[in-house]
Amino acid sequence: METAPHWPHAPLHRLSEAGTFIVTAGTYEKRALFADGERLRGLHAGLLKYAAKYGWRLDAWAVFPNHYHFVGHSPEHAADAASLAAFLKHFHGRASAWLNKLDGMPGRKVWHNYWETRLTFEKSYFARLNYVHQNPVKHGLVPVANQYRWCSAAWFERTASPAMVKTVYGLKIDHVDVVDDF
């Protein structure tokens, strides 16, 4: 059986199994369309709202003017992760409509695509949690991740045990393979 080629700009979405995923989505042409506090606040709130609506439990997230990342678990009793496509389609559609109304640009293309990777090893999961939490630092937006309002680092530090925070933040992320050329 032939398999379809894997194109980075049009990734295959392999959602036939439930599990934990890291997801990245980017705006069309990497445009910084969510560049101010109101827009980032709206994008952040929308991500959390639609994740909950579709039963996705997020453990880490970070939203930026032209992309976002999250680590999340597919719905608890689902046999697969197919709801991710519906979740992101709904979220992206609503975020696009809201943003285009703000800018007076109905019909403008806002989102390009999304990439997901199913995480199957605990160390890989922890490293990606750290990667998402530290992403605002990587992009030079803040010196310490918990200072960035639109990511989960401060929440994680408040709600996780000190041992968990130490474990996650102790993992190196310089070789973590995540689409992040924004």
**Please, what is the angle between helix 162-169 and helix 122-138, to 10°?**
80
**What is the average pLDDT across 153-182?**
90
pLDDT tens-place string over residues 85-115: 999 999 999 999 999 999 999 999 999 989 9
Q: pTM, whole model, 2 decimals? A: 0.88
Q: CB–CB of 1/96 below 8 Å?
A: no
**What is the average pLDDT across 142-163?**
97
pLDDT at position 109: 97
Q: Name 18's Cβ contacts closer than 8 Å, sequence gap at least 6.
A: 74, 75, 78, 79, 80, 81
Q: Lowest-confidence range among 6-10, 36-40, 116-120, 140-144?
A: 6-10
Q: How confident is the model at residue 15 (pLDDT cuts 50, 70, 90)?
A: low
Which one, of 51, 73, 47, lies nearest residue 129 by Cα?
Answer: 73
d(CA 72, CA 61): 9
pLDDT at position 102: 96
Highest mean pLDDT out of 11-15, 118-122, 156-160: 156-160
pLDDT at position 14: 56
pLDDT at position 81: 86
Among the CATH numbers 3.30.70.1290, 1.10.4010.10, 3.30.390.30, 3.30.1300.10, which is that of 20-169?
3.30.70.1290
Mean pLDDT estimate for the chain: 90
Domain extents for the chain? 20-169
- Tally Cβ neighbours within 10 Å of residue 33: 22
pLDDT tens-place string over residues 67-89: 999 999 999 888 888 899 999 99
pLDDT tens-place string over residues 36-64: 999 999 999 999 999 999 999 999 999 99
pLDDT at position 98: 97
pLDDT at position 16: 57
